[in-house]
């Protein structure tokens, strides 16, 4: 069968924060992905039920189903789910649904024995890598997709970041940081973001609301190590276990992939670092 899309993403809006990163990572990897925000102009004014029945029921090689209580309860995800499940009427051996679970809710029409991936066990970037590997292993996509995705991740892991923040109540706290670029290319747009523990909107790799300070480093050359410190005033006192996670390193690599490193976590970002 000639499929128009490698994968179609089916989800509830409450999980868009996770799915959006997956979609953009898949697009970066060269996967033909159906994601509503990529299709806004094409879908405008058309009959959504007909379109989704066609995409999820016929035109997508795989459907990544992001399961949650919201997914089961809401109208549009139900349309997508029913369209996806209808394919077994045409092909009883269809194995096109890839479940990703945010919780253990029962999904009407989906066998409880179907193997799944838990969303919170992997970052969105890691899940996108798993989808790419699945497409390659199933023969849908060439191994070059896997090589390209793996190469980018490996290059990013060569950038080491460590920070130590000492908190002083009522005074400036010191952030000591060390950045080592062990990759073969320079990294640019390098920014160290410090989160204020008192903020009600903690910073993340894609949303820096609640940051106490952004220290712009600029470019770090291949093989270069930068060590320095700066002072920042924090309104809240961080818990001891949170100290390693107060500072996040953001950067872009030579292929214009955007990355964030926080503590031991590395993940791909949707956009470049915002600097102020």
Residue 176 pLDDT: 87
**Among 198, 203, 200, which Cα is nearest to 239's?**
198
The strand order across the sheet containing 258-262 reads: 211-220, 187-195, 247-252, 258-262, 265-269
Can you tell me the distance from the alpha carbon of 32 to that of 129, in angstroms, rounded to the nearest whole number? 14
Label residue 188 by pLDDT band (50, 70, 90).
very high
Can you tell me the distance from the alpha carbon of 106 to that of 104, in angstroms, rounded to the nearest whole number? 6
Residue 262: both structure tokens together: 């926080």
Label residue 68 by pLDDT band (50, 70, 90).
very high
Runs of H (alpha helix) within the chain: 16-29, 40-43, 48-54, 69-73, 75-85, 87-90, 124-137, 143-157
Using one digit for the tens of pLDDT, what is the confidence trace for 32-62? 999 998 999 999 999 989 999 999 999 999 9
CATH 2.60.40.10 in the chain: give the residue spans: 158-269
Can you tell me the distance from the alpha carbon of 225 to that of 169, in angstroms, rounded to the nearest whole number? 31
Residue 202 confidence (pLDDT) above 60: no
Can you tell me the distance from the alpha carbon of 178 to that of 185, in angstroms, rounded to the nearest whole number? 18
Can you tell me the distance from the alpha carbon of 245 to that of 242, in angstroms, rounded to the nearest whole number? 5
Residue 206 confidence (pLDDT) above 70: no
- Cβ pair 33, 8 in contact under 8 A: yes
pTM, rounded to two decimals: 0.61
Highest mean pLDDT among 151-155, 249-253, 261-265: 249-253
Label residue 21 by pLDDT band (50, 70, 90).
confident
Using one digit for the tens of pLDDT, what is the confidence trace for 141-155? 877 666 666 667 777
Higher pLDDT, 68 or 24: 68
Residue 210 pLDDT: 65
Can you tell me the distance from the alpha carbon of 239 to that of 241, in angstroms, rounded to the nearest whole number? 5
CATH 3.40.50.10140 in the chain: give the residue spans: 5-153
Using one digit for the tens of pLDDT, what is the confidence trace for 123-136? 787 888 899 889 98
CATH domain 158-269 topology: Immunoglobulin-like (2.60.40)
**Among 123, 222, 214, which Cα is nearest to 177's?**
214
CATH domain 5-153 topology: Rossmann fold (3.40.50)
Residues 6+ apart with CB under 8 A from 47: none
């Amino acid at each position: 069968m000639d499929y128009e899309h490698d994968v179609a993403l089916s989800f509830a809006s409450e999980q868009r924060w996770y799915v959006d990163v997956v979609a953009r990572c898949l697009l970066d990897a060269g996967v033909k992905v159906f994601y509503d925000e990529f299709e806004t102009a094409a879908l405008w004014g058309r009959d959504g039920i007909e379109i989704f029945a066609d995409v999820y029921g016929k035109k997508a090689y795989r459907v990544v189903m992001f399961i949650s209580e919201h997914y089961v309860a809401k109208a549009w995800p139900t349309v997508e789910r029913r369209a996806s499940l209808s394919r077994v009427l045409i092909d009883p051996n269809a194995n096109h649904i890839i479940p990703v679970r945010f919780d253990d809710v029962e999904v009407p029409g989906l066998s409880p024995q179907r193997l799944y991936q838990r969303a919170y066990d992997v970052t969105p970037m890691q899940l996108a890598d798993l989808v790419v590997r699945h497409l390659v292993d199933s023969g849908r996509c060439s191994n070059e997709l896997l090589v390209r995705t793996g190469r980018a991740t490996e290059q990013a892991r060569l950038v080491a970041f460590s920070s130590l923040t000492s908190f002083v109540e009522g005074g400036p706290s010191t952030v000591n940081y060390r950045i080592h670029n062990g990759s073969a290319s320079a990294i640019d747009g390098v920014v160290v973001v410090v989160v204020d523990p008192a903020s009600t909107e903690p910073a993340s790799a894609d949303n820096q609301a609640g940051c106490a300070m952004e220290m712009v480093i600029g470019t770090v050359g291949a093989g270069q190590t930068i060590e320095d410190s700066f002072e920042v005033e924090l309104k809240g006192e961080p818990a001891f276990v949170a100290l390693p996670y107060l500072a996040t390193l953001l950067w872009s690599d030579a292929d214009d992939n955007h990355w964030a490193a926080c503590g031991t976590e590395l993940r791909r970002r949707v956009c470049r670092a915002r600097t102020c």
